[in-house]
């Protein structure tokens, strides 16, 4: 039985190695050198955040530097928190999810010193700081409905297959209005949207299901629009702008536009939580907000921000003069309380 | 056999067993431990419950998706077999140079990035793509992109090597003199094939089918890219449970069910015919084949 004496401890040791990590010293000195791990969706969005958040912050606080990673899966946060080895310090997250898991998966944030006067409602949460707003207007490829007199003009038109045939494109992601638009089309006024009737919404979605491409992520729907796979669609502003920049002729239907706050949060147990909290306070400053809007075409959370927008970004400016309709902001508190139930219902409806 | 020899043999065997140590340690760390934790999780550890399993069978969705996944995997296996068997047969009948070329052709998918292959399939299958245009010649507007049909076609191509290689290994090992003998004794070629060649090739057929079927059950990238959330397969459902709903316990339960189903199927196939160990002979097979 000699060999077992070697084998068993070896296996145990290796297994332990696999399960361990972290254990970093937590420093309380505000001037100590820290490197914050910043997790967002990669691509142009993250580059804009590096330029507008990280570089100015490091210039002002030379002891704070950043490493960037992606994608910001909440399941990763959960796994890190569960295994007590938190690697991320800042993570892009839907405010509803941050609020729902406040103090469980995410650290409460510190908002002292932030002037809320110019901030859009919902920018400051208990466990997140909002950094930009994605507006998700209904839009169509202009060549699919070339005659403006016969083109879709309302949310109802999106759901009217008789008058406006053509392939629909919707993101299956709950943050992009998949549950709100059907109710708007069904006659629910924006102010009466919440508490949201998920069953009624799915019933309305049933009416266009066969003519709708449900894309699992924004990249897939953006690709589908560019490749003329869908005619009329609901895509966020930050994806409409690159499509238009690439030469796709897009007309936005300014009726009701569903918009959602995006935010950043700190995973619970982050070894650099103190430094991360200080950094989060800067995300909704006017220069930072303007920088992100200019780079991505998203809507600012700070009304004092004065971004210089490109011509295409102006076309999707939900809070600007282009929008002749109204904006419905997703209710963060409703989603914080109902995210799991609504997601499960939606998922079950989709895959069924 | 004297006692000393027996002792010596046992020691050698024991020492040989040590050769497994690095692989076992690695498996323990990266497979067994996480898998064990996942199993514990599915039973709700530390508050033991069967609710997560009960939910799978009562949510009205999981069973649909499991059935859809099984049917898709069956279709992929059938297509891969129908394409792979004649191909592997041809590989045993041509000269070494041609065999090399055929082998490279079948391995090209292995050497191509998964993403590149799947995006190529999107372009081929989407509205206005070659497949859609072809069907339009007959007045049919068929769009395979975002359908289980499209996923089946793409997966069949991706998984074809896993059918061809074990088949090639099995077919190459069949002594063709047996067929000559059958013909010499007056057998019709079809009967000779059915009574002699086919039974001898069955080990390879079962190996290939097990490989393709089990890989199909867990396929993620192709259904996620070429398919649609409207027609999810089980891997997409697992992805949604973990990344969107953060339901690790429910996902563990679903994963465990898929794993058990797969193991049962493999065990059953192993008994029915051939053996999965035929896969292991793939690497050694081509060298043995060049006998005159």
Write down the domain spans for chain B. Answer: 1-42, 50-290
**Closest among B210, B196, B213 to B270, alpha carbons compared:** B210
- Does the pLDDT at position A15 exceed 80? no
Give the integer Cα–Cα distance in Å for A72 and B21: 37
**What is the number of alpha carbons within 13 Å of residue B244 lying toward its C-beta?**
22
CATH superfamily for domain A134-260+312-351: Periplasmic binding protein-like II (3.40.190.10)
Distance from the Cα of B151 to chain A's closest Cα (Å) equals 15
Torsion of CA B69, B70, B72, B77, to 10 degrees: 140
CB under 8 Å to A251, separation ≥6 — which residues? A139, A140, A142, A145, A151
Give the integer Cα–Cα distance in Å for B245 and B241: 5
Of A6, A7, A352, the CB nearest to B64: A352
- State residue A295's pLDDT score: 94
Distance from the Cα of B228 to chain A's closest Cα (Å) equals 7
Test A14 with B29 for CB contact under 8 angstroms: yes
Give the integer Cα–Cα distance in Å for B274 and B205: 8
Give the integer Cα–Cα distance in Å for B110 and B128: 28
- State residue B233's pLDDT score: 93
Q: A339, A96 in Cβ contact below 8 A?
A: yes
Distance from the Cα of B65 to chain A's closest Cα (Å) equals 7
Q: Provide the residue count of chain B.
A: 292
Mapped to the 3 state alphabet, what secondary structure does chain A carry? CHHHHHHHHHHHHHHHHHHCCCCCCCCCCCCCCEEEEEECCCHHHHHHHHHHHHHHHHHHCCCEEEEEECCCCHHHHHHHHHCCCCCCCEEEECHHHHHHCECCCECCCCCCCCCHHHECCCCECCCCEEEEEEEEEEEEEHHHCCCHHHCCCCHHHHCCCCCCCCCEEEECCHHHCCCHHHHHHCCCCHHHCCCCCHHHHHHHHHCCHHHEEEECCHHHHHHHHHCCCCCEEECCHHHHHHHHHCCCCEEEEEEEEEEEEEEEECECCCCCHHHHHHHHCCCCCHHHHHHHHHHHCCECCECCCCCCCCHHHHHCCCCCCCCCCEEEECCHHHHHHHHHHHHHHHHHHHHC
The tokens 């086919």 sit on which residue? B198
CA angle B49, B53, B56 (to 5 degrees): 145
Query: Residue A26: pLDDT band by 50, 70, 90 thresholds?
Result: low
Where in the sequence of chain A do the CATH 3.40.190.10 domains occur? 10-133+262-309, 134-260+312-351
Test B29 with A17 for CB contact under 8 angstroms: yes
CB under 8 Å to A228, separation ≥6 — which residues? A141, B127, B128
Question: Which CATH topology does A10-133+262-309 take?
Answer: D-Maltodextrin-Binding Protein; domain 2 (3.40.190)
- State residue A302's pLDDT score: 95
- Is the bond preceding residue A195 a cis peptide, omega within 30 degrees? yes
- Is the bond preceding residue A94 a cis peptide, omega within 30 degrees? no
DSSP code at position A336: H
Test A343 with B245 for CB contact under 8 angstroms: yes
Give the integer Cα–Cα distance in Å for A58 and A34: 11
- Best to test chain B binding among A1, A351, A352 (most B CBs inside 10 Å): A351
- State residue B273's pLDDT score: 63
Distance from the Cα of B222 to chain A's closest Cα (Å) equals 13
- State residue A119's pLDDT score: 96
Binding-site residues on chain A for chain B (CB distance < 8 A): 2-3, 6-7, 10-11, 14-15, 17-19, 73-75, 78-79, 82, 167, 172, 209, 213-216, 220, 223, 227-229, 340, 343-344, 347-348, 350-352
Which structure tokens are listed for B279?
A: 């896969």
CB-CB neighbors (< 8 A) of B29 in chain A = 11, 14-15, 17-18
How many CB contacts within 8 angstroms connect chain A with chain B?
Answer: 88
- State residue A4's pLDDT score: 47
Test B240 with A352 for CB contact under 8 angstroms: no
Distance from the Cα of A29 to chain B's closest Cα (Å) equals 35
Burial (CB < 10 A; 0-12, 13-18, 19+), residue B227, is: buried
CB neighbour burial string for A243-271, b if at least 16 within 10 angstroms, e if fewer: bbeeebebbbbbbbbbbbbbbbbbbbebb
The CA radius of gyration of chain B, in Å to the nearest whole number, is: 23
CA angle A202, A167, A205 (to 5 degrees): 5
Of B25, B60, B231, the CB nearest to A348: B60
Specify the 3-state DSSP secondary structure of A256: strand
Given a cut of 50, the residues of chain B with pLDDT beneath it are: 278-292
The end-to-end CA distance of chain A, in Å, is 55
- Does the pLDDT at position A312 exceed 80? yes
Q: How far are the Cα atoms of A121, B69, B152, B179, B210 from residue B74, in angstroms, in the given order? A: 53, 9, 10, 31, 10
- Does the pLDDT at position A17 exceed 70? no
Test B231 with A172 for CB contact under 8 angstroms: no
Q: Which helix (H) or strand (E) holds A35?
A: strand A34-39
Test A343 with B24 for CB contact under 8 angstroms: no
Is domain B50-290 classified as CATH 3.40.50.450? no
Which structure tokens are listed for B42?
A: 């599915």
Closest-CA residue in chain B for A94? B244
Specify the 3-state DSSP secondary structure of A144: helix
**Closest among A315, A1, A345, A44 to A199, alpha carbons compared:** A345
Test A350 with B236 for CB contact under 8 angstroms: no
Give the integer Cα–Cα distance in Å for A285 and A290: 9
- Does the pLDDT at position A65 exceed 80? yes
CB-CB neighbors (< 8 A) of A348 in chain B = 59-61
CB-CB neighbors (< 8 A) of A220 in chain B = 225
The percent of residues above 70 in pLDDT, for chain A, comes to 91
Distance from the Cα of B97 to chain A's closest Cα (Å) equals 42
Of B17, B123, B229, the CB nearest to A214: B229
- Say if strands A212-215 and A34-39 run parallel, antiparallel, or are unpaired: unpaired
Question: A174-197: per-residue pLDDT in tens?
Answer: 999 999 999 999 999 999 999 999
- State residue A23's pLDDT score: 42
Distance from the Cα of B137 to chain A's closest Cα (Å) equals 19
CB under 8 Å to A340, separation ≥6 — which residues? A100, B245
Question: A105-159: per-residue pLDDT in tens?
Answer: 999 999 999 999 999 999 999 999 999 999 999 999 999 999 999 999 999 999 9
Give the integer Cα–Cα distance in Å for A53 and A219: 24
Give the integer Cα–Cα distance in Å for A344 and A339: 8
DSSP code at position A120: P
Test A216 with B231 for CB contact under 8 angstroms: no
């Amino acid at each position: 039985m000699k060999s077992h004496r070697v084998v068993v401890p070896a296996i145990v040791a290796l297994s332990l190695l696999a399960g361990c990590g972290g254990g970093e010293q937590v420093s309380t000195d505000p001037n100590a050198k820290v490197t914050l791990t910043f997790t967002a969706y990669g691509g142009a969005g993250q580059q804009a955040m590096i330029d507008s958040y990280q570089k100015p912050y490091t210039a002002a606080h030379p002891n704070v530097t950043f490493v960037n990673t992606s994608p910001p899966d909440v399941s990763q946060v959960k796994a890190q928190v569960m295994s007590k080895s938190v690697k991320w310090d800042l993570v892009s997250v839907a405010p509803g999810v941050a609020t729902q898991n406040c103090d469980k998966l995410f650290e409460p944030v510190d908002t002292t010193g932030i002037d809320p006067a110019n901030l859009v409602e919902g920018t400051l949460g208990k466990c997140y700081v909002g950094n930009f707003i994605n507006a998700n207007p209904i839009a169509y490829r202009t060549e699919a409905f070339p005659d403006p007199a016969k083109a879709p003009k309302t949310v109802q038109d999106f759901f009217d297959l008789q008058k406006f045939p053509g392939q629909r494109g919707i993101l299956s992601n709950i943050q992009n209005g998949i549950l709100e638009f059907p109710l708007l089309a069904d006659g629910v006024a924006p102010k009466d949207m919440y508490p949201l009737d998920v069953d009624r919404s799915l019933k309305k979605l049933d009416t266009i299901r066969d003519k709708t491409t449900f894309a699992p992520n924004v990249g897939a729907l953006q690709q589908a629009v560019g490749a003329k796979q869908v005619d009329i669609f609901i895509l966020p502003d930050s994806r409409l702008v690159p499509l238009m920049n690439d030469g796709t002729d897009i007309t936005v239907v300014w009726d009701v536009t569903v918009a959602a706050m995006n935010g950043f949060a700190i995973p619970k147990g982050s070894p650099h939580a103190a430094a991360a909290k200080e950094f989060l306070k800067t995300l909704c400053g006017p220069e930072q907000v303007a920088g992100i809007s200019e780079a991505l075409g998203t809507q600012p959370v700070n009304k004092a921000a004065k971004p210089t927008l490109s011509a295409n970004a102006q076309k999707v400016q939900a809070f600007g003069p282009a929008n002749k309709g109204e904006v419905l902001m997703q209710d963060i508190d409703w989603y914080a309380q109902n995210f799991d139930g609504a997601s499960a219902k939606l998922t079950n409806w989709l895959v069924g | 056999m004297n006692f000393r020899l027996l002792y010596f043999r046992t020691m050698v065997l024991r020492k040989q067993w040590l050769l497994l140590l690095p692989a076992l340690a690695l498996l323990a760390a990266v497979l067994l431990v996480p898998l064990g934790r996942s199993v514990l999780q599915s039973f709700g550890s530390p508050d033991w419950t069967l609710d997560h399993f009960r939910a799978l069978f009562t949510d009205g969705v999981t069973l649909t998706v499991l059935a859809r996944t099984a049917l898709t995997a069956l279709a992929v296996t059938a297509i891969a077999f129908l394409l792979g068997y004649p191909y592997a047969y041809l590989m045993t009948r041509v000269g070494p140079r041609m065999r090399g070329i055929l082998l490279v052709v079948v391995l090209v998918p292995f050497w191509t990035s998964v993403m590149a292959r799947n995006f190529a399939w999107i372009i081929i299958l989407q509205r206005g793509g070659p497949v859609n245009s072809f069907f339009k010649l007959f007045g049919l507007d068929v769009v395979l992109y975002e359908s289980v049909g499209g996923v089946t076609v793409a997966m069949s191509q991706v998984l074809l090597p896993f059918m061809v290689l074990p088949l090639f290994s099995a077919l190459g090992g069949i002594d063709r003199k047996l067929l000559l003998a059958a013909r010499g004794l007056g057998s019709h070629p079809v009967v000779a094939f059915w009574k002699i060649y086919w039974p001898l090739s069955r080990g390879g057929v079962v190996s290939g089918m097990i490989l393709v079927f089990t890989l199909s059950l867990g396929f993620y990238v192709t259904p996620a890219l070429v398919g649609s959330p409207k027609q999810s397969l089980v891997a997409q459902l697992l992805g949604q449970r973990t990344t969107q709903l953060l339901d690790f316990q429910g996902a563990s339960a679903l994963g465990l069910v898929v794993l058990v189903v797969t193991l049962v199927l493999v065990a059953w196939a192993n008994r029915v015919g051939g053996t999965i160990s035929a896969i292991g002979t793939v690497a050694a097979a081509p060298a043995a084949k060049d006998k005159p």
